[in-house]
Chains A and B, each alone.
Chain A
Amino acid sequence: MRELRAEALVIGGGAAGTYAALCLHRQGVAPLVISKGLVGKSGASIFAGNLVISGRVLGNTEENARDTAEFLIKYHNQFLIDQEYAKRCGQWIAEVYYPELEEAGLYLRRDDAGNVVTSPGRLRSVAANVQGNSGVPFMDLRRKQLIRAGIPMLEEVVVTALLQAESGEVCGVLALDIASGEIFCVRAKAVVLATGYADRLHRRSTGTREMSADGIALGWRAGAELVNLEMQWWHTNDVRYPANWQRMQVYPNPMLGSWKSARNVNAKGEVFFDQQEDDPLAFGPYTVQLKRLVKQVREGKARYDGDYYSGFDHVDPAEVDAYTTYAKLFKQLGLDVGRDLVETAVSAHYRQGGLLVDPATMASTVPGLFVAGGVGGHSNGLIALVTYDGKVAADSVAQHVRDRPYASLPPHKAEEEAKRLQGLLKPGATPPVRVKKMIRELMWNDMGVEKNEAGMRRALEGLQEIRAAVLPAMGVTNLTKIMNHGWLDAIDAVNMVEACELMVHSALNRTESRGPFIRTDYPEMDNESWLAQNILVPTADGGFRFEKRPYATPYFQPEFVRKDNLAVQW
Chain B
Amino acid sequence: MVSLDARRIGQLENRDTLEAKLGALREGDMIKAQVRRFSPGEQPYYETFEVPYQKWMRVLDVLIYISEELDSDLSYRWYCGSKMCGTCALRVNGREILACWAAAEPEMTIEPLRNLPVIRDLTVDRRPYEKRFLELEPWIHRDEPYPGFPEPLTHREMRFTSKALDCISCAACYSACPVVGLGDLTRFCGPAPLVQLGQAALDPRDSRERSQELIEQASIFSCVSCYRCEEVCPASIPIVSKVIEPLKALAYRTARKKPRHPQTFLGIIRRRGRIDPSELVLRVQGLRALARLRWAVSLLIRRKVNPWATVFGRPIPGIASVRRLFRTFLRTS
Nearest Cβ on chain A to B25's Cβ, whole angstroms: 11
> CB distance B60 to A485 under 8 Å?
no
> CB distance B75 to A485 under 8 Å?
yes
Task: Report Cα–Cα, A144/B73, bound state, in Å.
Answer: 33
Task: Report Cα–Cα, A140/B153, bound state, in Å.
Answer: 21
> CB distance A480 to B120 under 8 Å?
yes
B49-100 contacts to A, CB under 8 A, are: 54-58, 60-61, 64, 67-68, 71-75, 78-87, 100
List residues of chain B with CB within 8 A of the CB of A248: 81-82
**A244 and B64 in contact (CB under 8 A), knowing A102-B150, A137-B165, A144-B139?**
yes
> CB distance A46 to B72 under 8 Å?
no
Answer yes or no: B216 CB below 8 A from chain A CBs: no
Nearest Cβ on chain A to B304's Cβ, whole angstroms: 46
List residues of chain A with CB within 8 A of the CB of B87: 38, 41
Task: Report Cα–Cα, A58/B149, bound state, in Å.
Answer: 9
Question: Most chain-B CB neighbours within 10 Å: which of A57, A111, A114, A489?
Answer: A114
Answer yes or no: B19 CB below 8 A from chain A CBs: yes
The 0/1 profile, CB within 8 Å of A marked 1, for residues 91-135 of chain B is 000000000111100000000000000011101011000000010
Task: Report Cα–Cα, A116/B151, bound state, in Å.
Answer: 10
> CB distance A482 to B39 under 8 Å?
yes
> CB distance B61 to A135 under 8 Å?
no
> CB distance A483 to B56 under 8 Å?
no
List residues of chain A with CB within 8 A of the CB of B149: 57, 98-99, 102
Answer yes or no: B138 CB below 8 A from chain A CBs: yes
Q: How many chain-A residues does the 8 Å CB contact rule pick out?
A: 72
> CB distance A102 to B151 under 8 Å?
yes
Give the nearest-CB partner of B83 in chain A: A329
Binds A, one of B3-11, B155-163, B223-231, B312-320: B155-163
> CB distance A129 to B82 under 8 Å?
no
> CB distance A242 to B57 under 8 Å?
yes
> CB distance A105 to B203 under 8 Å?
yes
Q: How many chain-B residues does the 8 Å CB contact rule pick out?
A: 67
Answer yes or no: A313 CB below 8 A from chain B CBs: no
> CB distance A483 to B79 under 8 Å?
no
A365-407 contacts to B, CB under 8 A, are: none
Task: Report Cα–Cα, A113/B68, bound state, in Å.
Answer: 52
Give the nearest-CB partner of A485 in chain B: B75
B-side interface mostly: loop
List residues of chain A with CB within 8 A of the CB of B103: 332-334
> CB distance A144 to B138 under 8 Å?
yes
> CB distance A38 to B56 under 8 Å?
no
Answer yes or no: A360 CB below 8 A from chain B CBs: no
Nearest Cβ on chain A to B69's Cβ, whole angstroms: 8
> CB distance B56 to A333 under 8 Å?
yes
Answer yes or no: A528 CB below 8 A from chain B CBs: no
Answer yes or no: B214 CB below 8 A from chain A CBs: no
**A334 and B154 in contact (CB under 8 A), knowing A42-B85, A476-B72?**
no
Task: Report Cα–Cα, A480/B166, bound state, in Å.
Answer: 37
Answer yes or no: A162 CB below 8 A from chain B CBs: no
> CB distance B79 to A111 under 8 Å?
no
Give the nearest-CB partner of B74 in chain A: A485
Answer yes or no: B284 CB below 8 A from chain A CBs: no
Answer yes or no: B18 CB below 8 A from chain A CBs: yes
Answer yes or no: B28 CB below 8 A from chain A CBs: no
Answer yes or no: B233 CB below 8 A from chain A CBs: no
> CB distance B61 to A242 under 8 Å?
yes
Nearest Cβ on chain B to A494's Cβ, whole angstroms: 16
Answer yes or no: A541 CB below 8 A from chain B CBs: no
Partner of B85, one of A57, A58, A141, A208: A208
The 0/1 profile, CB within 8 Å of A marked 1, for residues 252-277 of chain B is 00000000000000000000000000
> CB distance B156 to A129 under 8 Å?
no
The 0/1 profile, CB within 8 Å of B marked 1, for residues 96-117 of chain A is 0011001111011111111010
> CB distance B55 to A247 under 8 Å?
no
List residues of chain B with CB within 8 A of the CB of A110: 153-155, 158
The 0/1 profile, CB within 8 Å of B marked 1, for residues 53-80 of chain A is 0000110000000000000000000000
**New contact pairs (7) apart from A210-B79, A478-B73, A484-B75, CB-CB < 8 Å:** A47-B84, A105-B205, A136-B84, A137-B199, A245-B56, A247-B82, A332-B103
User: What 10 A-B pairs have minimum CB-CB distances, sorted nearest first?
Assistant: A246-B81, A431-B72, A99-B149, A103-B146, A114-B154, A241-B55, A241-B56, A242-B54, A483-B120, A478-B73
30 contacts between A and B (CB under 8 A): A37-B85, A41-B85, A102-B150, A103-B142, A107-B203, A112-B155, A114-B155, A129-B166, A130-B162, A133-B166, A135-B84, A141-B139, A144-B134, A179-B119, A208-B79, A246-B82, A246-B100, A247-B82, A333-B56, A335-B56, A433-B67, A433-B68, A434-B68, A437-B68, A476-B73, A477-B73, A480-B120, A482-B120, A485-B72, A485-B74
A-side interface residues toward B, CB under 8 Å?
A: 37-38, 41-42, 46-47, 57-58, 98-99, 102-105, 107-114, 116, 128-130, 133, 135-137, 140-141, 144-145, 147-148, 179, 208-210, 239, 241-249, 328-329, 331-335, 431-434, 437, 476-478, 480, 482-486, 489
